[in-house]
Structures are given as C-alpha cells and as structure tokens.
C-alpha cells in the first residue's frame, strides 16, 4: 500500500482495538507532531512561498484532525497526557540522517528538504495502512469506523501531496529531479520497512506506529 | 488600548505605510510565530485538555491569517524571506524571564504558563494597536484598509482570549488566581511599555513591532 514494503504484523489491529483509549491518545499526538513538523519545514524555507503555503494548508488539516481526536478524548473522559515515545519515528529519522542519499546534483539544502518531505510521506503512508487495518478490525457498526475510514483517505492524500511537494522541490533544484525522488523514496521505503520488520516481533503496543 | 501603557510613536504609521511590502513580510512572520507559540504551549500542557483545545483553535486562526498574508505577498510578487529579528518580542521575553513575579501561591509551572499567556496577550494587544494605526493612516479607500480593520478586531479578541486562558489557569492553580492575573498583567504591561518607549526614539522600521 502506497509503496510500503513491509505489511504491519497481523496481530497489531487486535492489540490496538483492545486498548482504543491508548490508540486515541497516541493518535492525537501523531496529528500534532505532523502539524508541527509541517510548520517547522515551512519556517525553514521562507524562500519558497508556494511550498510554505502548501505546508501550512497541510498543518491546518492536521490540526483539524488533532482537534477531532481531542474531542473524542474529551467526550470519553480520557486524559491526553504526555506523548508516548515514538520509537518508530525516532528510528526512521535517525536512519535517514545516517544514510544520506547521494541526491545526484541536488544541493544539500534541497536534498535535506526532499528527505524530510519523503519521511513525512512514509509516516503518513504507515498511518494510512494502520487506520485501514483498524477500521477493518472495527467493522462498519463500530462508532469509530467512519472516523478511521475518513482519516485513512486523508492520510493517503497527505502521502501523495508530500511526495508531490518533494518532486517539486527536486525538479526546481536539478534536472531529472523527479527521477531522483522516485529513487530516494524507494531507498527510504526500504529503511522504513526494516524498522517495521524489526519491531514486528513485539506488536504489543496500542500506538499508531507501535 | 487593551491595557497598553505606552502609545506607539505617532511617526510609526507613516514609516510603515511607506514600505507596505516590508510590513506584510513582517506581519506574515508574526502570524506564524503566534501560531507556533500557541502550539508549543499546547504541547507543553497535555494535562489540560480544555486549554490545549483553545490554544489549537487560536493557532488555527493565526495560520489562516498567515495564509491570508502569504496570499497578499504572492499576489504582489513579494518574496517572504527569512523573518526579521523581532527585537521587541525578544526584549519582552527576556524582561519577563528576568523579572519573575512572585505569583503568590501559584505553583511554578502554572506561573510560567500564566506569564507566557499574558506575554502573548500583550503582543496581540500591541499588534491590535498597530493595525488600527495602519488602517487609520491608510484611509478607507486603501485596498488593505478592510484587511487591517478586520485583523485589528481579531487581535483584540485574541488578547482577551489569552487573558481569559491565563485567568482559567491561575484560578485552577490557586485561590484568588484571577486577582493575581490582574496584578501580573499590570506588571507585564509596564515592562512592555518600557520596551516600547525605549524603542520609540527610532521608529524607523516598517515592522509590526518595530
């Protein structure tokens, strides 16, 4: 799905479904982190007004989702609490920082931006896959089925938007930029899959990327 | 206006009007900073779900304004560029950090939050005053008159919302919290006025808080 190279362990959905409070808490933090990350990328690239506006629009949508999840927490009397450690995202960012791609003729600043956009795109893809698994495990009569089905579609769209933004940046930075993005996305998807496989031995956490 | 203790130097509006490109660029960054600050406060207080939701709603509105200003920049062919140094905000944050109020019986964490909310409230008040001066200097036939008149009203509302949030935090943290907020707001407004007066000898910058 969406270029992901390792499917989520089949046991994950039942672990998540058994502790929906924890899933909702973690999910809320994921939306906030996605919004903050989009805004920090926007703030770092004030030279590209079109990119900034698209990232701000993305952040606004993430914040709207964040507020939707917070509304669910409030109506269920669940405390938000501090964010759980997101080992998946930490491992992904660390792996990308370690294995810098050659990036062909793209300047380092644009290459870093492309990588950050593609990492965000992969995280959206993984959230998308998990929301789909969760909705399927819930079944259509579950009170949160529609919510997770709608978010599943939104995450897929964010994935595509972020890859498109990366292509735009790479195209503006070097000839053949689009091709470089396709190659880099495959490399990063392989890294992401390694991380997911390494964690699949312990699918015991009711978190979005647990 | 809104409890501000020093009016802006009368020359500011003509300096600003003479370089609206610079004002718009600076204004854009101010909206982004206000959004980021609200989100960082929200992220630091996940224990107070109602506060988080109000801060997120504030951030969403700041981002909508940010995008409006970016739209004006785009339509005028103005580059956003990196944020100018905001000496006013830096001086205000530094002064507040240096002169910690006693805060009565409020615990340090809540006291820090109250201060941050009140500093944000004062920055909104100053923006509000400046937008009003700018709109008045423009006159109602100027293409940006309506824009700055609407934002003037929004900033006044943000000022009140932030003071209300501070009152809510202080009330939850100590008996007589509301009174403490009134006292602290007066102290911080005096600090803000000192900074504005010190800068009034050189109203030569076309920035929102220049």
Task: List, as one string, the DSSP characters of B56-118.
Answer: HHHHHHHHHHHHHHHHHHHHHT----SPPP-HHHHHHHHHHHHS----TT--HHHHHHHHHHH
Q: B58 Cβ partners below 8 Å, 6+ apart?
A: B34, B38, B158, B161, B162
Mark residue A19 as left, alpha or beta (left: phi above 0; alpha: psi -120 to 50; beta: remaining). beta
Q: Does A109 touch chain B (CB under 8 A)?
A: no
Determine, for residues B63 and A79 on separate chains, whether the beta-carbon distance falls below 8 Å.
Answer: no
List, for residues A148-174, the tens digit of each pLDDT value.
999 999 999 999 999 999 999 999 888
Biggest alpha carbon–alpha carbon distance for chain B: 54
Show the domains of chain A with their CATH numbers.
11-77+107-199 (1.20.1260.10)
Answer for the pair B44, B101: CB distance below 8 angstroms, yes or no.
Answer: no
Nearest Cα residue to A209 out of A118, A90, A116, A98: A90
Instruction: Compare all CA atoms of chain A with the CA of B30 and give the residue at the minimum distance.
Output: A43
ipTM > 0.95, yes or no: no
pLDDT at A207 over 70: yes
CB of B60 less than 8 A from some CB of A: yes
Contacts of B67 in chain A (CB under 8 A): 53, 56-57, 60
Neighbours of B17 (CB within 10 A): 17
B109 shares contact with chain A (CB less than 8 Å):
no
Quickly state the pLDDT bin for B200 (edges 50, 70, 90).
Answer: low
Chain B: nearest CA to A67, how far in angstroms? Answer: 7
What is this structure's pTM? 0.93
**pLDDT value of residue A84:** 82
Whether residues B81 and A47 touch (CB distance < 8 A) is answered with yes
Please tell me which residue of chain B has the smallest CA distance to A77.
Answer: B49
Closest by CA to A8, choosing from A118, A130, A123, is A130
Q: A132-141, B7-16, B133-142, B143-152: which range is least confident on average?
A: B7-16
Q: What is the DSSP code (8-state) at residue B195?
A: H
Chain A residues with beta carbon closer than 8 angstroms to that of B63: 56, 59-60, 63
Closest-CA residue of chain A to B35: A39
Tell me, letter by letter, the H, E, C secondary structure of chain A: CCCCCCCCCCCHHHHHHCCHHHHHHHHHHHHHHHHHHHHHHHHHCCCCHHHHHHHHHHHHHHHHHHHHHHHHHHHHCCCCCCCCCCHHHHHHHHHHHHCCCCCCCCCHHHHHHHHHHHHHHHHHHHHHHHHHHHHHHHCCCCCCHHHHHHHHHHHHHHHHHHHHHHHHHHHHHCCCHHHHHHHHHHHHHHHHHHHHHHHCCCCCCCCCCC
- pLDDT reported for residue A173: 87
On chain B, the residues whose CB falls within 8 A of the CB of A86 are: none
CA distance B64 to A9: 40
Contact B166, B117 (CB under 8 A): yes
CB spacing of B46 vs A73 below 8 angstroms: no
With b meaning 16 or more CB within 10 Å and e meaning fewer, what string describes B100-136? ebebbebeeebbbbbbbbbbbbbbbbbbbbbbbbbbe
C-alpha–C-alpha distance, residues A173 and A186, integer Å:
20
Asked if the C-beta of A34 comes within 8 angstroms of chain B's C-beta atoms, the answer is: no
The pLDDT of residue A102 is above 80: no
CB contact under 8 A, A79 and B49: yes
Is the Cβ pair B56, A66 closer than 8 Å? yes
Among candidate residues B176, B184, B49, the one with its CA nearest the CA of residue A70:
B49
pLDDT band per the 50, 70, 90 thresholds, residue A103: low
Q: Which of residues 68-107 of B touch A (CB under 8 A)?
A: 70-71, 73-74, 79-83
Mean pLDDT of A188-201: 88
Among chain B residues, the shortest Cα distance to A82 is held by B46
Indicate if the pLDDT at residue B167 is higher than 80.
yes
- Asked whether A82 and A50 are in contact (CB, 8 A), the reply is no
Residue in A50, A59, A74 closest to B63 by CB:
A59
A42 part of contact set with chain B, CB < 8 Å: yes
With an 8 Å Cβ cutoff, is A59 touching chain B? yes
> Which chain B residue's Cα is nearest to A26?
B46
List of chain A residues whose C-beta atoms are within 8 Å of the C-beta of residue B29: 46
Whether residue B193 has pLDDT greater than 70: yes
* DSSP label of B2: T
Interface membership of A43 toward B (CB under 8 Å)? yes
Closest-CA distance of chain B to residue A44, Å: 8
Of A32, A46, A66, the CB nearest to B81: A46
| Rounded Cα–Cα distance for residues A179 and A192 (Å) | 20
When pLDDT is cut at 50, 70 and 90, the band that residue B205 belongs to is confident
Buried b (16+ CB within 10 A) or exposed e, B27-62: bbbbbbbbbbbbbebbbebbebbebbbbbbebbbbb
Task: Indicate if the pLDDT at residue A176 is higher than 70.
Answer: yes
**pLDDT (0 to 100) of residue B24:** 96
Query: If DSSP codes are grouped into helix, strand and coil, which group holds residue B47?
Result: coil
């Amino acid at each position: 799905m969406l270029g992901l190279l390792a499917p989520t362990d089949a046991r994950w959905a039942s672990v998540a479904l058994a502790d929906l409070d924890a899933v909702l808490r973690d999910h809320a933090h994921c939306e906030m982190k996605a919004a903050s990350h989009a805004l920090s990328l926007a703030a770092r690239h004030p030279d590209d007004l079109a990119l900034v506006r698209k990232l701000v629009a993305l952040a606004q949508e993430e914040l709207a989702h964040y507020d939707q999840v917070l509304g669910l927490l409030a109506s269920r009397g669940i405390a938000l609490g501090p964010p759980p450690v997101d080992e998946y995202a930490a491992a992904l960012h660390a792996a990308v920082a370690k294995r810098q791609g050659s990036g062909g003729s793209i300047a380092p600043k644009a290459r870093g931006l492309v990588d950050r956009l593609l990492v965000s795109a992969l995280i959206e893809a993984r959230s998308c896959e998990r929301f789909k698994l969760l909705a399927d495990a819930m079944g259509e009569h579950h009170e949160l089925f529609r919510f997770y089905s709608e978010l599943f579609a939104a995450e897929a769209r964010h994935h595509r938007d972020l890859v498109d933004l990366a292509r735009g940046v790479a195209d503006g930075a070097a000839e053949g930029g689009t091709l470089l993005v396709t190659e880099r996305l495959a490399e990063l998807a392989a890294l992401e899959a390694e991380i997911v496989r390494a964690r699949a031995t312990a699918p015991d956490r009711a978190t979005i990327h647990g």
